[in-house]
Structure 1
Amino acid sequence: MDSRELTSLLAEHRLLAIIRGSDPAACRRTAEVLVEAGVRLLEVSLTSADALGVLSGISATLGAEAHIGAGTVLTADDARNAQAAGATFAVTPALADGTTTAIELGMPVLAGAMTPTEVLAADRAGAAAVKLFPAGGLGPGYVKALRDPFPGLHFVPVGGIGLADVSGYLRAGALAVGIGSPLSGDAPHGGDLGALRARAREFVAAAGEGSGT
């Protein structure tokens, strides 16, 4: 996958599901349920238990049905290990060595930034899109404000975004939204998969409505 393909997929699906959990088997089941419910872009945080094993497992079983990236990529080793485990893109909470190494390895990166200075640095580093993080306290208006000085950049707000917020961020100009616990709930820790399935369908529908499809 290259940067253009990743941004195209984000523009098409408008939703990136973030999996972070304490139970590797539950993380894998979470990924399966998300894909069954129509989610096509998944991020496995490297802070999850046995994250590389989870990445490897779901990449092998779901790779034909979904696009799977690694999140919380901070170090050069994080980037290398994530790619070896099957991740096709990297997501970072901030600009760090992992950003540079992932790009050098040919992995498109959603690079974390919040301020205009950080946004510009992420773009100059070669990020495919800017992960606007943490976005929840800033609101859709912040995305709109950033798009005025940076009209050519792609923004993916992440952090504290609930179901009711999705359409507002997309209509403000976000390329997509990244959703963690408001979507995954307790499922990656061994919780209710039925509830996860219902939430996933709601988020997929909200992303479609927000994009006008």
Structure 2
Amino acid sequence: MLDVQERLVREKIVVVVRTDSFEEAQQISETMIEVGIKMIEVTMTVPEAPALIGLLKEKYQADVLVGAGTIATKEEATACFNNKADFLVSPYLIDEVAEAGQALGIPVFSGAMSMKEVAATQKYQNSLVKIFPANIVGAPFLKAVKSVIPSVQLMPTGGVNEKNILDWFEAGADCVGIGSDLVRIYRKDGVTGLKAYGQQLQEILASAVHD
């Protein structure tokens, strides 16, 4: 059985759900799962985020990985773990979150936006690092990190979309987090628009694999 990190890298796309509505977050998550994107990160900006994580895990079980994003404290880490979160993501390296993850036995993927910050995450043996905000550091940064720390796996998040997703993979991304457009598309075009967007992302990746 693949572990969490292996599944994230295999699936390539992590849906990052960031909204101020529980119902909206649930609809976005379930719509993207329906079109075949089965890696979900529910951020703590979602009201009752741990409860939504628990709801999604109960409904989809092991078929879908559901993580918790924007984790800033060990209390948040514990609450999400207790609701069956598969992984935790922090916007930058937060020692108490990384230590809580180790104590609980749940992967923690920390954010970084400099070579020093990427290197700092390695003391917790987290070989997958979230590059955030990706649109600020740019794709060349990923190439630089890979050349210096080849063992690290990178997940750029922030500004990744259908127009540039392949650029990130060409630069060395192992998987990507996509979220900034999801709420906008859902509010404008509803479930139909969101499904079309999810399908488009998968088609872009599939075409690149077969080229």
Question: TM-score scaled by structure 2?
Answer: 0.92
Structure 2 equivalent of residue 116 of structure 1: 115
Alpha carbons of structure 1 residues 73 and 120: separation in structure 2 relative to 1, 3 Å:
same
Structure 2 equivalent of residue 70 of structure 1: 68
Structure 1 equivalent of residue 168 of structure 2: 169
Unaligned runs of 5+ in 2: none
SS of match in other structure, 2:164:
helix
SS of match in other structure, 1:111:
strand
Residues 177-203 of structure 1: per-residue CA shift (max 9 Å, x gap): 10112234353x797111111111112
Q: Please state how far the C-alpha of 1:211 moved relative to its aligned partner.
A: 5.1
- Structure number with the bigger relative contact order (C-alpha 8 A, sep ≥ 6) is 1
Q: Please state how far the C-alpha of 1:112 moved relative to its aligned partner.
A: 0.6
SS of match in other structure, 1:63:
helix
More helix per residue:
2
Residue correspondences, number: 210
Structure 2 equivalent of residue 159 of structure 1: 158
Superposition map of 1:160-199 within 5 A: 160-185=159-184, 187=186, 192-199=190-197
The one-letter code matched in structure 2 to 1:122 is T
Q: Please state how far the C-alpha of 1:208 moved relative to its aligned partner.
A: 3.4
Structure 1 equivalent of residue 8 of structure 2: 10
Alpha carbons of structure 1 residues 212 and 102: separation in structure 2 relative to 1, 3 Å:
farther
The 2-side partners of 1:115 and 1:138 are apart by: 8
Residues 39-98 of structure 1: per-residue CA shift (max 9 Å, x gap): 010000011112122111111112243111000111000110010112010111011121
Superposition map of 1:98-117 within 5 A: 98-117=97-116
Give the superposed CA RMSD: 2.0
SS of match in other structure, 1:49:
coil
Instruction: Tell me, yes or no, if the aligned pair for 1:13 and 1:207 is still in contact at 8 Å.
Output: no
The 2-side partners of 1:210 and 1:81 are apart by: 39
Instruction: Tell me, yes or no, if the aligned pair for 2:110 and 2:129 is still in contact at 8 Å.
Output: yes
The one-letter code matched in structure 2 to 1:124 is K
Q: Please state how far the C-alpha of 1:136 moved relative to its aligned partner.
A: 0.8
The 2-side partners of 1:93 and 1:211 are apart by: 30
Instruction: Tell me, yes or no, if the aligned pair for 2:92 and 2:112 is still in contact at 8 Å.
Output: yes
Alpha carbons of structure 1 residues 211 and 134: separation in structure 2 relative to 1, 3 Å:
farther
Alpha carbons of structure 1 residues 28 and 41: separation in structure 2 relative to 1, 3 Å:
same
The 2-side partners of 1:160 and 1:122 are apart by: 22
Question: TM-score scaled by structure 1?
Answer: 0.91
SS of match in other structure, 2:63:
coil
Structure 2 equivalent of residue 45 of structure 1: 43
The one-letter code matched in structure 2 to 1:157 is P
Shifted more, 176-185 versus 146-155: the winner is 176-185
Alpha carbons of structure 1 residues 54 and 26: separation in structure 2 relative to 1, 3 Å:
same
Identity of aligned residues (%): 26
The 1-side partners of 2:209 and 2:175 are apart by: 9
The 1-side partners of 2:55 and 2:6 are apart by: 25
Unaligned runs of 5+ in 1: none
Q: Please state how far the C-alpha of 1:172 moved relative to its aligned partner.
A: 1.4
Alpha carbons of structure 1 residues 129 and 212: separation in structure 2 relative to 1, 3 Å:
farther
